[in-house]
Amino acid sequence: MTKSLAETIYVLNGPNLNLLGTREPETYGHQTLADVEKLCAKSAAQFGMRTDCRQSNREGELIDFIHEARAKKAAGIIINAGGYSHTSITLHDALMAVKIPAVEVHISNIHARENFRHHSFTARAAFATLSGFGIDGYRLAINGLAAKIGVKAKA
């Protein structure tokens, strides 16, 4: 049986997240982007949902993914825009424009790091932000998104 589009959560990862596991493991850990994607698929499945995981190092492509989520009537967006969180008004505007419930995730605690990381444009367009839980933040984000949209875990 094919899942309806409304049962899909877009999981969007920004620049340098393709390097998870090797990039600054003391900050981001040793788990890879493939580990993140497996965790998200497993977490969404508990709610009878599926994930569509994407990663891009290009801001415009991330915006295209957000627009696609709207066109395909996605249930929600989990976004880790990486460094673009702190610089991209256009990602903020895209998230606001599509009117899809979004959760921002950061693997590290951005507030315990450099001052320039303390502000996030994408956080202003999300109903919640998780920071500092490692990749488990993605699982928590999916749980929170499911609660926000009224989806209960399947038995």
Residue among 114, 108, 150 at smallest CA distance from 129: 108
Residue 154, in any domain of the structure: no
Residue 126: other Cβ atoms inside 10 A: 22
Closest CA to 144 of 132, 136, 55: 136
Report helix angle 136-149 to 33-45, nearest 10: 30
Does any domain span residue 134? Answer: yes
pTM above 0.85, yes or no: yes
Q: Which residues does 54 contact at the CB level (< 8 Å), separation at least 6?
A: 10, 11, 12, 13, 65
pLDDT over 70 for what percent of the chain?
92
User: Is 52 part of any domain?
Assistant: yes
Task: State which H helix or E strand residue 17 sits in.
Answer: none
In-domain check, residue 43: yes
Mean pLDDT value of segment 59-88 = 96
Residue 22 lies in a domain: yes
Residue 155, domain member (yes or no): no
CB 33 within 8 A of CB 11: no
Catalytic residue among 10, 84, 92, 106: 106
How many separate domains does the chain show? Answer: 1
Amino acid at 57: N
pLDDT of res. 4: 47
pLDDT, the chain, mean: 91
- Residue range of the domain that includes 84: 5-149
CATH number for position 41: 3.40.50.9100
Is 111 among the catalytic positions? no
Using CA atoms, how far apart are residues 114 and 26, in angstroms rounded to an integer? 15
Mean pLDDT, residues 19-40: 88
Catalytic residue flag (residue 106): yes
The pLDDT of 35-52, averaged and rounded, is 98
Mean pLDDT value across residues 66-77: 97
Asked if residues 74 and 12 have their Cβ atoms less than 8 Å apart, the reply is no
Confirm whether 24 is domain-assigned: yes
Active-site residue identified among 10, 28, 84, 138? 28
